[in-house]
Amino acid sequence: MKGLIARIHREYNVSCAEIALNDAWQSAALGIAVVSNSSAHAERLLERVIYWIERNRPDLYVVDYQIEVIV
């Protein structure tokens, strides 16, 4: 997970951390955060991160994701 987290941070300049399921074998929950003056831009960026994971890491399965915009 450390490599994936570093790559996401480097590619998209977002904050990323493993936030849950730390002790679960072959499972992880990532939290990804971005600060922007445009909620639409922030939402598009987070959707691109999810798409990037699905496209570039076929060994991983995105089971579910949730985007929350706080204004």
Closest CA to 5 of 23, 24, 21, 15: 15
- Report DSSP letters for 23-53, one per residue: TSTT--EEEEE---S-HHHHHHHHHHHHHHH
Can you give the pLDDT at residue 24? 65
Q: How many CB atoms are located within 10 Å of the residue 46 CB? A: 21
Cα Rg of the chain, angstroms: 12
Q: pLDDT of 34-71, one tens digit each?
A: 999 999 999 999 999 999 999 998 888 999 999 999 88
Domain range list for the chain: 2-56
Q: pLDDT of 10-41, one tens digit each?
A: 999 999 999 876 666 678 889 999 999 999 99
